[in-house]
Amino acid sequence: MYAIVDIETTGGHASANGITEIAICIHDGKKVTRRFKSLVNPQRDIPVYIRALTGITNEMVSTAPLFEDVAHEIYHLLKGQIFVAHNVNFDYSFLRYHLHAAGYELNANKLCTVRLGRKIMPGLLSYSLGKLCSHLGIGNNSRHRAMGDAEATAHLFSLYLKSDTANHIGQALKLNSKEQRLPANLPKADVDALPNCPGVYYFHDEKGKVVYVGKAKNLKKRVCSHFTGNNAGQQRQEFLKSIHRISHQVCGTELIAFVLEAVEIKRLWPKYNRSLKRFENTYGLYAYEDQRGYLRLAVDKHRKHMPSIYACNSLLEGYSLLNKLIETFSLCPKMCFVQKNDQPCSGNNVNACACEGHETPNEYNIKVTAAIDELKKALPTFAIRDEGRNGEEHSCILIEEGRFYGMGYISHYFDANNIQQLKNYLTPYPGNDYIKNIVTGYASRYPERKVSFAG
CA distance 48 to 10: 10
CA distance 137 to 342: 87
CA distance 414 to 334: 50
CA distance 159 to 389: 46
Residues noted as catalytic: 144
Question: How big is the chain, counted in residues?
Answer: 455
Burial of 268 (0-12, 13-18, 19+ CB in 10 A): middle
Residues 284, 310 contacting (CB under 8 angstroms) = yes
Query: What φ, ψ does residue 202 adopt, rounded to 5°?
Result: -130, 125
Query: What φ, ψ does residue 418 adopt, rounded to 5°?
Result: -100, 110
Burial of 263 (0-12, 13-18, 19+ CB in 10 A): buried
Neighbours of 451 (CB within 10 A): 16
Residues 38, 27 contacting (CB under 8 angstroms) = no
CA distance 370 to 377: 10
Burial of 95 (0-12, 13-18, 19+ CB in 10 A): buried
- Could you give the dihedral angle defined by the CA atoms of residues 274, 275, 278 and 281, in that order, rounded to the nearest 10 degrees? -140
Query: What φ, ψ does residue 125 adopt, rounded to 5°?
Result: -70, -30
